Amino acid sequence: MHFFTYKGNKFYAEGVSIEKIVKEVGTPCYIYSHKTLIRHYHAFDEAFASVPHLICYSVKANSNIAILKTFINEGGGVDIVSGGELYRALKAGVNPKKVVYSGVGKRADEIEYALKTGILMFNVESPEELRAIDRIAKRLKKKAGIAIRVNPDVDPKTHPYISTGLKKNKFGIETSRAIQEYVYAKNNLKNVIPIGVDCHIGSQITQISPFADALKKTKQIISTLRNEGIDIKYLDMGGGLGITYKDEDAPHPSKYGKAVIDATKGLNITLIFEPGRIMVGNAGILVTKVLYTKQGTEKNFVIVDAAMNDLARPSLYGSYHAIKPVTHPTPPFNKGGGEIIADVVGPVCESGDFFAKDRPLPAFKSGELMALMSAGAYGFSMSSNYNSRPRACEVMVKGNKFSIIRERESYKDLIKGEKRLK
Ligand SMILES: *Cc1c(COP(=O)(O)O)cnc(C)c1O
C-alpha cells in the first residue's frame, strides 16, 4: 500500500504532482512518501502490539537521515551493519539502547565506536568476533550485550544473492557451535553478556514457512541456553519480509505477526525485528526522463537519464520494477503499458545497465518522465558514482509539501578528496 497515484492523467506523490517536483529538482530523483513510511511502520508495529517488541529498522535499505528520523520519531530503533550507519543513526537522533549491530566483518574501530555509544547488542557472526568484542570491551572497561547470529540452515526461497540462512552462506554460526560459544562466553569472557539470540535468513521472503522453520530452531536454542543458566531476554528475528514488486503475493505484517506470536507464546521474551524493505520499498520511486528512443533491428530501446549507478537492483538481481508514465494522454492510465515492447536502459557503458527488458510500455517520447516504482529500498543506498555520474537527489513528500532531503551531487562532489599530483 502506498500513496503514489494518478489524479486525472498526472502522477502524484500524496498531494504533490511529480511534474512539479521535477521542475524544481530535475532528474533523476528519488521521491519518498512520508505517509507511506508512517503507514508501513505502524502496520508492522501493530502486528506485534500484544507482545513486548522493538522495531530496529535496517538502515542499509535506505539510510537517508530524514527516513531514519521518521521511524525514530515513531519509537523505532535501528539495525546497523557499519560504523557509518551508526553515525547516521546517531545524527538522526536514535536512542543507543535501541541499536543492534549486525554484519560478518565488524572492524575494531567500529566495535569501539559502538561500545562507546552504548548500543543494546552486537549480533555476533563468528567465534573470533566474539573474542574481539570481549577484548575491546575489556580495554574500554565496558560490558557488551551480545546475541549470536545463528545460521539455522533453512531455505528462504528467495534470490540466491539475498539468501543468508543456509550452511553455505557466510552469515552466522551453525547451531551446535553457537551453543558452545554462548557457554564459552558465559564461563570465560567477562566483558560480553549474552542477552539475545539472533537469526536473519534472507530478504524479499514472500512465504511465512521459512520464518516458522527458523523460529522452531531458535526456540530450541533459547531453551537450551536457559537450561545452561544463560539469561536470554531478546529474540531477534532479523528482517526479510518481502513486498510486491510485480505480482508477488507478499504476506501482510499482521499474518507474519500472528505466526510469530503464536510460535513464541509463553517464551517470555522481547522480540526484535530488523525490517528494511517492507518499511521503505514501496514508499519510494525513482523518476527519470526519457532522453532518446531508438529502434534497433531486434528491439526497441527507451534510453533514460537514470542508470544502474542510481538503481542497481535490475542489474544485480534481474529484479522487476513497475514503470509508470508521469503524464499520460489517456487518463486514467495505470496498467503499465501495451503500446510498445521495449528495453528501458540507462546511459552507463554496460549491457547490464537496464531497468526493464521486453516490457510492454506506453509509447514514451523524448523529454517525457517515467517513474520506476518500488525503488525506496536498496535504491539510493546502493547507488554509486560509476561513470562519474553525480548521485541523484532525494525528495520527501509530506501531504501537499515536499522537501529536498539530499541534494543532487555536483561535479565538484565527484572529485572530493582526490589529488591530481604533479
Ligand atoms: C539486510 C538485513 C536486514 C533487512 O532485510 P530486509 O529484507 O530489507 O527486511 C535485516 N537484518 C540484517 C542482518 C540484514 O543484513
Q: Please give the full DSSP string across 180-218, using - where no structure is assigned.
A: HHHHHHHHH-TTEEEEEEE---BSSB--SHHHHHHHHHH
Residue type, 266: G
Query: Ligand 1 atom 10: the closest Cα is on which residue?
Result: 239
pLDDT tens digit sequence for 319-354: 999 999 999 765 444 454 458 899 999 999 999 999
Question: How high is the pLDDT of residue 332?
Answer: 43
All cell numbers assigned to 247: 505480482
Pocket mutation for ligand 1, best pick of 41, 59, 79 (most atoms within 8 Å of C-beta): 79
Q: Is pLDDT at 227 greater than 50 in this prediction?
A: yes
Is beta strand 401-406 parallel, antiparallel or unpaired with respect to 393-398?
Answer: antiparallel
* Percent over 70 (pLDDT), the chain: 98
Residues 6+ apart with CB under 8 A from 120: 77, 96, 97, 98, 99, 100, 145
Confidence at 170, pLDDT banded by 50, 70, 90: confident
Mean pLDDT of the chain: 95
Q: Is pLDDT at 166 greater than 90 in this prediction?
A: no
Q: Is pLDDT at 189 greater than 50 in this prediction?
A: yes
Question: How high is the pLDDT of residue 162?
Answer: 74
Q: What is the DSSP letter of 205?
A: B
Atom of ligand 1 nearest to the CA of 278: 9
CA 73 to chain centre: 18
CA 364 to chain centre: 31
Among the listed residues 201, 239, 193, the one whose alpha carbon sits nearest the alpha carbon of residue 217: 201
* Domains assigned to the chain: 4-32+281-414 (2.40.37.10), 103-273 (3.20.20.10)
All cell numbers assigned to 351: 549491457
Q: Which of 154-158, 185-189, 200-204 has the lowest mean pLDDT?
A: 154-158
Determine contact, residues 154/201, Cβ cutoff 8 Å. yes
187 strand-pairing partners: none
Taking each helix axis as running N to C, give the angle between helix 108-117 and helix 83-91, from 0 to 180 degrees, rounded to the nearest 10.
Answer: 30
How much distance in Å is there from the Cα of 263 to the middle of ligand 1? 21
Question: How high is the pLDDT of residue 119?
Answer: 98
pLDDT tens digit sequence for 28-73: 999 999 999 999 999 999 999 999 999 999 999 999 999 999 999 9
Residues 6+ apart with CB under 8 A from 411: 390
Three-state SS at 321: coil
How much distance in Å is there from the Cα of 344 to the middle of ligand 1? 29
Question: How high is the pLDDT of residue 163?
Answer: 76
Question: How high is the pLDDT of residue 171?
Answer: 87
CA 301 to chain centre: 30
Determine contact, residues 150/217, Cβ cutoff 8 Å. yes
Length of the chain: 422
Three-state SS at 166: coil
Q: Does the C-beta of 102 come closer than 6 Å to ligand 1?
A: yes
pLDDT tens digit sequence for 90-148: 999 999 999 999 999 999 999 999 999 999 999 999 999 999 999 999 999 999 999 99
Instruction: Report the alpha-carbon distance of residue 363 to residue 136 in Å, rounded.
Output: 60
Q: What is the DSSP letter of 395?
A: E
Instruction: Report the alpha-carbon distance of residue 403 to residue 231 in Å, rounded.
Output: 46
Q: Does the C-beta of 200 come closer than 6 Å to ligand 1?
A: yes
Q: Does the C-beta of 79 come closer than 6 Å to ligand 1?
A: yes
The owner of cell 527507451 is 302
How much distance in Å is there from the Cα of 327 to the middle of ligand 1? 35
Q: Does the C-beta of 58 come closer than 6 Å to ligand 1?
A: yes
Instruction: Report the alpha-carbon distance of residue 140 to residue 143 in Å, rounded.
Output: 9
Question: How high is the pLDDT of residue 164?
Answer: 78
Could you give the C-alpha distances from 371 to 17, 38, 42, 305, 336, in angstroms and in order? Answer: 12, 22, 26, 12, 11
Among the listed residues 122, 234, 235, the one whose alpha carbon sits nearest the alpha carbon of residue 189: 122
Question: How high is the pLDDT of residue 161?
Answer: 76
How much distance in Å is there from the Cα of 240 to the middle of ligand 1? 6
Q: Does the C-beta of 158 come closer than 6 Å to ligand 1?
A: no
Question: How high is the pLDDT of residue 337?
Answer: 46
Pocket mutation for ligand 1, best pick of 159, 204, 274 (most atoms within 8 Å of C-beta): 274
Task: Give the catalytic positions in this structure.
Answer: 349
First to last CA, the chain: 56
Q: Does the C-beta of 238 come closer than 6 Å to ligand 1?
A: yes
What does pTM read for this prediction? 0.96
pLDDT tens digit sequence for 406-417: 999 999 999 999
